[in-house]
């Protein structure tokens, strides 16, 4: 589906075609979404390539790919879209501004929940919050559908600007009745357990997989691994002593029945970050949101 943002903005219509093609990576599908002919899409892309004197797309083994120059134009166009959208909002003075933020599940559910409640006690404050995994939040951020995202996962620093929000310990989590509770154990001992992990695209899962790979292990080294995308369900399963997980310390807030455990020789601290498009408007929004969370 074409982002509604693409329909609202006033940038050059050929840039719109370019951005939709970047999303679909398919000329036919782009033409259908924009109610154009396929030759017209090709003509728009050729115009831009002549204008910027570079190739924006190439075929590699019959697969359409964006070139390095195309990525530069894409990043620039996404920033322009965001700034134009903020301009339109400022000009529509009768509307109360809406703060549009994204947050990964750990941060949204266990870290900023009380601060957001305080913010919404003011009836003049409007908020749109999207709780999702890192990959999907970054996709929405690039399209200008979010003003900023608070994430714990990895991102491309060439595409986004960022600021550190806070540091958080990454620990083992088990039931209070589990033998591991409040203990320091070897990683090999943890492998005897059922491991609950988040879905692919989750920052929590990516960090765990990276930590394991640094020691030539994978999640397959655990006796069993079970993918659970919902923290609430995962918390209940762990509380029933069915398995363990690795998560940020804030996850312990989800249940009084949970306890931490630690891996001998592993002390892992990661940053929660504000991630945003590199524009003056975005930076100002981040700075204002920092005050809310202070």
pLDDT in tens, 222-255: 999 999 999 999 999 999 999 999 999 999 999 9
Q: Domain-by-domain residue ranges, the chain?
A: 4-87, 91-165+272-293, 168-268
Average confidence (pLDDT) over 139-165: 90
Q: Which residues pair with 161 in a beta bridge?
A: 276
* Residue 94, pLDDT score: 52
| Whether the predicted model's global pTM rises above the 0.85 cut | no
Q: Specify the residue for token string 């409640």.
A: 117
* Residue 84, pLDDT score: 72
Q: How confident is the model at residue 30 (pLDDT cuts 50, 70, 90)?
A: very high
**Percent of the chain residues past pLDDT 90, beyond the cut:** 56
* Residue 153, pLDDT score: 81
Same fold, 91-165+272-293 and 168-268: yes
Give the pair of three-digit tokens for residue 149. Answer: 């995202």
How is domain 91-165+272-293 classified at the CATH fold level?
Answer: D-Maltodextrin-Binding Protein; domain 2 (3.40.190)
Q: Which residues contact 146 (CB under 8 A, 6 or more apart)?
A: 100, 101, 102, 130, 137, 140
Strand 98-103 relative to strand 148-151, pairing: parallel
Quote the DSSP letter at residue 188. H
* Residue 276, pLDDT score: 94
Strand 268-276 relative to strand 98-103, pairing: unpaired
Residue 27 phi, psi (nearest 5): -65, -40
DSSP string, 250-282: GGGGG-TTEEEEEETT--EEEEEEEEE-SSHHH
* Residue 77, pLDDT score: 82
DSSP-derived 3-state class of residue 22: helix
Average confidence (pLDDT) over 102-131: 91
Span 4-87: which CATH code? 1.10.10.10
How is domain 168-268 classified at the CATH fold level?
Answer: D-Maltodextrin-Binding Protein; domain 2 (3.40.190)
């Amino acid at each position: 589906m074409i982002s509604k943002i693409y329909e609202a903005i006033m940038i050059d219509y050929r840039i719109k075609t370019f951005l939709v093609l970047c999303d679909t990576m398919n000329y036919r599908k782009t033409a259908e979404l924009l109610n154009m002919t396929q030759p017209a899409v090709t003509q728009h892309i050729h115009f831009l390539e002549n204008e910027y004197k570079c190739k924006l797309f190439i075929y590699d083994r019959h697969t359409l790919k964006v070139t390095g120059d195309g990525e530069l134009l894409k990043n620039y166009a996404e920033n322009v879209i965001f700034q134009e959208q903020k301009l339109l909002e400022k000009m529509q003075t009768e509307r109360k501004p809406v703060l549009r933020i994204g947050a990964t599940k750990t941060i949204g559910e266990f870290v900023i929940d009380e601060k957001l409640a305080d913010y919404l006690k003011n009836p003049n404050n409007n908020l749109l919050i999207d709780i999702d995994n890192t990959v999907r939040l970054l996709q929405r951020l690039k399209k200008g559908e979010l003003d900023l995202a608070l994430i714990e996962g990895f991102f491309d620093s060439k595409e986004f600007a960022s600021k550190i929000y806070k540091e958080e310990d990454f620990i083992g989590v088990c039931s209070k009745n589990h033998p591991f509770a409040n203990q320091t154990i070897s990683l090999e001992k943890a492998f005897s357990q059922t491991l609950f992990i988040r879905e692919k695209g989750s920052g929590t899962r990516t960090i765990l997989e990276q930590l394991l790979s640094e020691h030539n292990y994978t999640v397959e080294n655990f006796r069993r691994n079970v993918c659970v995308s919902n923290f609430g369900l995962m918390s209940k399963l762990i509380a029933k002593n069915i398995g363990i997980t690795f998560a940020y310390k804030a996850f312990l807030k989800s249940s009084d029945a949970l306890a931490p455990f630690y891996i001998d020789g592993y002390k892992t601290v990661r940053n929660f970050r504000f991630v945003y498009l590199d524009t003056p408007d975005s930076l100002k929004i981040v700075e204002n949101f920092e005050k809310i969370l202070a």
